[in-house]
Every structure is written in C-alpha cells, then in structure tokens.
Amino acid sequence: VIFAWFNEPAHGGIFMLQPFSRTSNLDEIKFKQTLEHREEEVLSLPYPHWNATLGWGKPLRTTDPWRVIQTRDGSWVGTPGYPPTETYDGTRWSFHGDFADQGLLYYWTKFVQQKVTILNLDEMEHWGAVGGSVQSDSYPILLRKEAIPLTTLQNGTCLPPGMEYPGHYGSSLHPMFRGHVPHRDFIHFSGNSKPWESAAPKPLPESVADLNSSKEYWYWCLRQVTIQLNVTI
C-alpha cells in the first residue's frame, strides 16, 4: 500500500509492504538487481544523471499517469506553504523524489511486483498484473477504484484522543485531511520535528488522556515500552 502525496505518487514517509518470505529470497534478489541496474545506467548519463522518460526502467503511459493528491475538481493542490503549480506531467519520472525512495516505491510496487493499492486522499486504486501473471515487458492494469470507508481505522488510530487530525508534516493541521482515513490516523514527523531529534517533553503526562500533542504521545508510548521491557533509555 502506497500513498499519493502533494508532489509525488508515492509518499516516502509512510507505506506498507509485505515482508520478504523466509523461504524464498527471489524478491530480495530482484530488488537488489533493480537498484544495481539503475545505478549502472545513471552513471553513464550527464548531470543530473537521470532519464525522466525511462526513470527506474519503465516509460510511463498517458493511459495511466501517476497522480498526486488532487482536489475534487481534479486540480493539483501543490505543496502547502509553497506557490501552487498549475499543471504536472504524470507521464514522466519528474516528481519529487523520482530518483530516490518515492520513485523506487512507485516503480517496485506498481511495475515490478504489479500488485499495489494506491491511496489518494479519499479513494483507493487497486492495480494488478494482466491475467494475474507478471511479465517483464507488461504493464499493470487498474482492477478497481473505490472510496476509502471512513471507518477503516476507526478503532486503530495511533494518535491520542482528540488528536486524530494530524494533517501534514509533524503536528501542523491541514484541513484537507480532516475526516480522511488513514491520513487522520497517523503523524508524519519530518526534519527537526522527529521526536528522537529533540528533547522529550517535560513533564510528560502520566495518562494518555492528558496528552496534548502527537510528540507527547510518541514519548508516552516509548515510556510504556521501556516499562514493559524493564529497560532504561
């Protein structure tokens, strides 16, 4: 499961992947080969060592371009806090992180494995291989598209009561995500907002009901783990 974001079709900060099987390392070998092949190719290219047409190894088609978070009328939202961009080209490997984690996630899940669900705000796209069998030169097909049920994570939020609307980047609020699961149910600590990059809040409330931020909740959970394992950090 990958998440479309403001400037990329696959968010680098949250995703869900099935672990490699202990009895077979074929996927692990294929994954390493994907990285090695890309490195060998881009080394021969001029700066900035990237082919926006081929990307990670698969030209993108006009019939299924990559998508970012959009408003209901189909316009591009852009990144909050930055001047909006009117258009984007979903048929080129030209999004944020196209050569890094975001591009690799999108390529691996959609074009190599050809088995992925892409969450785009309030809807899900399910992609799979043609006939259920992956061919090296084939493209995935859209199996179905559906709305994300608002109750998906009703009882599984990872935020303290009253803080189920984390918004975008750390503890800031963004009204676009309010009411949309799973965006309302997780917090993305980025940059200096990462809890392990700063001091713990003091004093830290004893009860989860008294927590005032996602950062406090993160440290509260950490404290519960240290107590359970009888360790000191």
- Taking only the tens of pLDDT, the chain with its 233 residues reads 998 887 889 988 778 877 776 666 788 888 899 999 888 888 889 988 899 999 999 999 998 899 887 654 555 555 554 444 445 678 999 888 999 999 999 999 999 999 999 988 778 899 999 998 888 789 999 999 988 765 544 445 555 555 554 433 333 445 666 666 676 667 777 777 788 888 888 888 888 778 777 788 888 889 999 999 999 87
Of the candidates 207, 211, 160, 151, which has an alpha carbon nearest to the alpha carbon of residue 182? 151
Task: Tally Cβ neighbours within 10 Å of residue 190.
Answer: 12
Tokens read off for 219: 């440290």
Spatial strand order in the sheet of 2-3: 2-3, 115-120, 123-128, 141-147
pTM to 2 decimals? 0.76
Q: Where are the alpha helices (DSSP H) in the chain?
A: 26-43, 101-107, 214-229
Number of residues that this document lists for the chain:
233
Tokens read off for 40: 């060998």
Spatial separation of the C-alpha atoms in residues 156 and 168, rounded to whole Å: 19
CA 184 to mean position of chain CA atoms: 14
Residues 6+ apart with CB under 8 A from 101: 12
